[in-house]
Amino acid sequence: MKKWISLALCLLALLPVLSASAGAEELDTSVTLNVYNWGEYISNGTEGSLDVNAEFTRRTGIQVNYTTFDSNESLYSKLAGGGADYDIIIPSDYMISKLLNEGMLAELDFDNIPNFKYIDEKFRDPDYDPGCAHSAPYTWGVVGLFYNTDYIDEEITSWEALWDPDYAGKILMFDNPRDAFAIAQMRLGQSLNTTDPADWRAAADLLKEQKPMVQAYVMDQIFDKMEAGEAWIAPYYSGDAALLVENNDSIQFAIPEEGTNYFVDAICIPATSTHKREAEAYINFLLDPEIAGANMDYVGYSTPESAAKEYLEEDVVNDPLRYPDEETLSRTEVFVNLPDDVSKLVDTLWAEVKMGGPGESALLVAIILGFLALYVGIVIYKRRKRKREMA
Amino acid sequence: MKKAGSRIYMALVFLFLYAPILVLVVFSFNDTATASRTVWDGFTLRWYQRLFEDRMLLEALRNTIVIAVVAAIVSTVLGTMAAVGINSMKKLPRRIVMNVTNLPMVNPDIVTGVSLMLLFVAAVSLFGGRSLGMGSLTAAHITFCLPYVILSVLPKLRQMDPNLYEAAQDLGSPPVKAFFKVVLPEIVPGIVTGMIMAFTLSIDDFVISYFTSGTTQTLPIYIYSMTRRRVSPEINALSTVLFTVVMALLIVVNVRGSKDKAAERKGEEHS
């Protein structure tokens, strides 16, 4: 009797394995995919939304270990540092080209990703990854200005507003070099990916000129400061700004006429992944228009799939903020990775903008060294004194 | 007059300490569509509901607590053993060992984090592993908690009369029994302090965890990753829950402690 029960239990235990393997042929359902994405960047099942990762596990039987990062640079340091075995990563455009240059991305096998056909034509040949051989677009958006109409009467049409002395002390700026420099470069009419050091220096000068008027260099605090009326005008990503504009009558969003940066976050597989086939199944799943629609409904960014718009609310799809018209998009430029020497220059210039010129940092170093010398002096003096007392 | 002044000063100090927590608690009930942390928009329990639906957040919380408990227990056991050993050393070796154990404490977190990461990556690849994770995180946490445990146990050992231990042995107690019956009860307050300290340090830690986490995520890392978009009021709700639980625990422990002490005092008076 006991034997029969245990045999029956064994069979029962096998059942889910059998049915799962029947559903998705040749997928190894025993693996766990390590997914690394931006924070708050996937529908997670709260408030009746779709739990994307749970749905993937339900459909394929593959477990997902989902973790999050805060910036492209932290993603890069984690990948380059070793010790993290990721199967799916979702970096932005310029980071993709950097990873690509360093041979850290695996080439995708599109036979395993049939849903790639839903990606709109215009996203299929990006500058950061020609031909989209290593990445599948996840979301996109543009950078724009948002401003509080309670304090700013005129209609904002240019990045120049961020240099307007009338708004001095009420201006916010991005706290990362690429985004901040892009704004100055737009004003100067440069390419965002220029490799001419003189261009970058000119942009840095413009940022330095702006600095006394800037209230703070911030990222997510932009929302708090804008909502509370503490700041009047700030640049940010359209997908996030949309939420604020929709819920606050006095906040407007504008895409300046000089053009702007257009960004794409895309799904890639690191070259080190050992579960490439399963990772491709995950990409295919994310590109399913129904899933992509539900996902973007929660995330609030723009989808690169027209087919997914069916699953989104109509006023979201027609929102010029989330889906700017072709004419606006023609004035945008996407970031690509800069050569090492240029990107080092950008880091130095950015440090200069934020902390003052090299003169000031030398002064700081001198002060710190002075304190250190003083401290060492005191310690030595005390020791000698003690020794003398002992003797 | 003087009294009023000191009372006002006290009130100000408490305001300064608790106002941020109060704001955090209040905004965990904020009915906001934009996840605002500054504009009040009515009362809701929505964030608490979301908190318990958010699998990722709960998993990060679980990881954090598991690591903190394991790290606190292991570092307390190791630290106590180390303290007993250090205490019975001669002066010079004791100073050397203390300096070595204090090193991780004075070292900036980021240096500790990066060097531990390099070590773990080398170790993992040596043994054919693929990724850092819970194991490396726990090992790292034990490492940085250890000196704090040693530092809080050692003074208790030094306060203790060394003759007590020898007296117990003179009376026929074997060394192990003498340690558990005589030494341990004397140093328990130090051990408990060290353990609580290790637990809180482990829960708090961001920098070292960040470098040694591999593909696991703890709560501080999860919260930090929200900063490109915005930190959700779910975090306020979670902090409120944690704060309430810790507060309740502290009150229970203190009330019981003071009751025990009162009973002890009564007992002493009677005898």
Span A341-366, pLDDT tens digits:
999 999 999 988 988 766 666 788 88
B209 touches chain A (CB under 8 A): no
pLDDT over 90 percentage in chain B: 64
Q: Which of A38, A68, A230 sits opposite B217 (nearest CB)?
A: A68
Kindly report the backbone phi and psi dihedral angles of residue A233, in degrees, each rounded to the nearest multiple of 5, phi listed first.
-145, 135
Residue A304 is predicted with a pLDDT of: 94
Residue A4 is predicted with a pLDDT of: 55
Contact A47, A82 (CB under 8 A): no
Residues of chain B with C-beta less than 8 angstroms from the C-beta of A247: 33-34
**Contact between B214 and A85 using a beta-carbon 8 Å cutoff:** yes
pLDDT at A8 > cutoff 80: no
Residue A20 is predicted with a pLDDT of: 43
**Contact between A83 and B36 using a beta-carbon 8 Å cutoff:** no
Q: How far apart are CA A142 and CA A160, in angstroms?
A: 18
Residue B1 is predicted with a pLDDT of: 64
**Contact between B131 and A65 using a beta-carbon 8 Å cutoff:** no
Contact A285, A60 (CB under 8 A): yes
Q: Would you give the distance in Å from CA A325 to the centre of its chain?
A: 23
Average pLDDT of every residue of chain B: 90
Output the six-digit token pair for A338: 């800069």
Confidence of residue B49 (pLDDT cuts 50, 70, 90): very high
* Higher local confidence (pLDDT), A17 or A387: A387
Q: What is the mean pLDDT of residues B183-211?
A: 92
pLDDT at A139 > cutoff 70: yes
Residue B38 is predicted with a pLDDT of: 79
pLDDT at A23 > cutoff 50: no
Backbone Cα Rg of chain B = 23
pLDDT at B251 > cutoff 50: yes
Q: Chain A residue with minimal CA distance to B41?
A: A247
Pairing of the two strands A332-333 and A63-69: unpaired
Mutate to test the interface with B, among A44, A68, A178, A246 (most CBs of B within 10 A): A68
Residues of chain A with C-beta less than 8 angstroms from the C-beta of B125: 82
Confidence of residue B270 (pLDDT cuts 50, 70, 90): low
Mutate to test the interface with B, among A43, A85, A275, A298 (most CBs of B within 10 A): A85
**Contact between A220 and B231 using a beta-carbon 8 Å cutoff:** yes
pLDDT at A64 > cutoff 80: yes
> What are the distances in angstroms from CA B124 to CA A34, A36, B67, B121, B214?
17, 20, 19, 5, 11
Q: What is the mean pLDDT of residues B23-42?
A: 86
> What are the distances in angstroms from CA A221 to CA A176, A350, B126?
14, 20, 43
Q: What is the mean pLDDT of residues A86-98?
A: 94
Residues of chain B with C-beta less than 8 angstroms from the C-beta of A41: 229
pLDDT at A15 > cutoff 50: no
> What are the distances in angstroms from CA A378 to CA A375, A382, B48?
5, 6, 54
Q: What is the mean pLDDT of residues A252-274?
A: 93
**Contact between B230 and A66 using a beta-carbon 8 Å cutoff:** no
* Higher local confidence (pLDDT), A16 or B12: B12
Residue A249 is predicted with a pLDDT of: 86
pLDDT at A16 > cutoff 50: no
Q: Which of B121, B125, B227 sits opposite A70 (nearest CB)?
A: B227
Q: Chain A residue with minimal CA distance to B116?
A: A83
**Contact between B136 and A83 using a beta-carbon 8 Å cutoff:** yes
Residues of chain B with C-beta less than 8 angstroms from the C-beta of A248: 34
Residue A114 is predicted with a pLDDT of: 95
Residue B89 is predicted with a pLDDT of: 92
Q: Where do the domains of chain A lie?
A: 2-140+264-333, 142-262+338-355, 364-391
Interface of A with B (CB under 8 A): 34, 36, 38-41, 44-47, 51, 53-54, 65-71, 81-86, 219-220, 223-225, 227-228, 230, 240, 243-244, 246-248, 274
pTM: 0.84
Q: Which of B33, B55, B228 sits opposite A247 (nearest CB)?
A: B33
Q: Please tell me the distance in Å from B228's CA to the nearest CA on chain A.
A: 6
Confidence of residue A18 (pLDDT cuts 50, 70, 90): very low
**Contact between A224 and B36 using a beta-carbon 8 Å cutoff:** yes
pLDDT at A199 > cutoff 90: yes
Q: Which of B49, B117, B232 sits opposite A83 (nearest CB)?
A: B117
Residue A170 is predicted with a pLDDT of: 93
pLDDT at A11 > cutoff 80: no
Residue B35 is predicted with a pLDDT of: 78
Q: What is the mean pLDDT of residues A70-84?
A: 88
Residue A26 is predicted with a pLDDT of: 76
Which DSSP category does B182 fall into? I
3-state secondary structure A36-51: EEECCCCCECHHHCCE
Residue B127 is predicted with a pLDDT of: 84
Q: What is the mean pLDDT of residues B61-82?
A: 96
pLDDT at B255 > cutoff 70: yes
Span A144-155, pLDDT tens digits:
998 999 999 999
Residue A239 is predicted with a pLDDT of: 87
Q: How far apart are CA A348 and CA A197, in angstroms?
A: 12
Q: How far apart are CA A323 and CA A255, in angstroms?
A: 12
Q: How far apart are CA B203 and CA B131, in angstroms?
A: 22
Domain A2-140+264-333: which CATH class? alpha beta
pLDDT at B129 > cutoff 80: no
Whether the domain at A2-140+264-333 and the domain at A142-262+338-355 fall into the same CATH topology: yes
Residue A270 is predicted with a pLDDT of: 95
**CA dihedral sign, ordered A313, A318, A324, A327:** positive
Q: Chain B residue with minimal CA distance to A175?
A: B228
Residues of chain B with C-beta less than 8 angstroms from the C-beta of A225: 38
Residue A360 is predicted with a pLDDT of: 67
**Contact between B229 and A44 using a beta-carbon 8 Å cutoff:** no
Q: Chain B residue with minimal CA distance to A67?
A: B217
Residues of chain A with C-beta less than 8 angstroms from the C-beta of B225: 38-40, 68-70
Average pLDDT of every residue of chain A: 89
**Contact between A47 and B56 using a beta-carbon 8 Å cutoff:** no
B126 touches chain A (CB under 8 A): no
* Higher local confidence (pLDDT), B244 or B230: B244
pLDDT over 70 percentage in chain A: 92
CATH of domain A142-262+338-355: 3.40.190.10
Contact A215, A170 (CB under 8 A): yes
ipTM of the complex: 0.85
Scanning chain A, the segments in alpha helix (DSSP H) are 2-23, 52-60, 72-81, 93-101, 177-188, 197-210, 221-227, 238-247, 276-287, 289-299, 314-317, 326-329, 340-355, 358-390
CB atoms within 10 A of CB B132: 28
Residue B269 is predicted with a pLDDT of: 63
